[in-house]
Chain A
Amino acid sequence: QVVLQESGPRLVRPSQTLSLTCTVSGGSFSGGDYYWTWIRQHPGRGLEWIGYVYDSGPTHYSPSLESRASMSLDTSNNEFSLTLKSVTAADTALYYCARESVVYGALGDWGQGTQVIVSS
């Protein structure tokens, strides 16, 4: 049974960079079977796809965030990461990592989420 666990600072100052890591245990991390994905949920709101990194190579980001977002994969440590530059209060949200199956395209496994607050 795969487990995904987000980690990172809870509080980030405006204009700074948000950095989160997702550690994956109990499942395959390489082999091209999954898109390693970040999603966020603003307080009381719906889900917003941020983007994904695939098998230590291609990344794709939401058009609304691609100028500020960056993702990478560290297969030696079974983790992937998200950085979001120049944050504002609008980036305050619950951030989830998840994996999307390349075969059937849905997000079958999620982390529990980590709350990030952007405030001075």
Chain B
Amino acid sequence: DIQMTQSPSTLSASVGDRVTITCRASQTIADFLAWYQQNPGKAPKLLIYRASTLETGVPSRFSGSGSGTTFTLTISSLQPDDFATYYCQQYDTYLSFGGGTKVEIK
């Protein structure tokens, strides 16, 4: 199994802040990585796939980068709707998810 490790597990930030979340894979996965946003009581929503491709309709303040084993999700200027939990997911070998990063209000 490919293990995905996210950091930090919780992040406190304010509206307007630049936020970065890191995801590491236990083995190389090329760029077969996606990012999701989940709000309480809701299904996850796809933000980014192929490590850096923005899903249609996702605001441009979200961006992704990385390849191999280390990836980042960046929110350039945090907005009120962005306080949520974020998950990375690899699809190089079946699927597996990171443990999540909760972005909370400072």
Residues of A that sit less than 8 Å from B by CB: 37, 46-49, 60, 62-63, 96, 98, 100, 104-108, 110-113
Contacts and interface: CB of A to CB of B under 8 A. Distances in A.
Given A108-B55, A111-B43, A100 B95 contact: yes
Given A47-B44, A47-B87, A110-B43, A104 B49 contact: yes
6 nearest interchain CB pairs? Answer: A106-B49, A106-B34, A110-B43, A105-B91, A49-B95, A47-B97
Interface string B49-89: 11001010000000000000000000000000000000101
Contacts of B89: 47, 106-107
A62 B97 contact: no
B100 A46 contact: yes
Interface of B: 1, 32, 34, 36, 42-46, 49-50, 53, 55, 87, 89, 91, 94-100
Nearest to B100: A46
Given A63-B1, A105-B32, A100 B43 contact: no
A50 to B, nearest CB: 9
B44 A107 contact: yes
A107 B34 contact: yes
B46 A106 contact: yes
Nearest to B50: A104
For the residues of A in contact with B, the DSSP-based class is strand
A63 B43 CA distance: 24
Contacts of A104: 49-50, 53
Contacts of A110: 43-45
A98 B95 CA distance: 12
Contacts of B42: 112
B67 to A, nearest CB: 14
Contacts of A60: 94
Contacts of B95: 37, 49, 100, 107
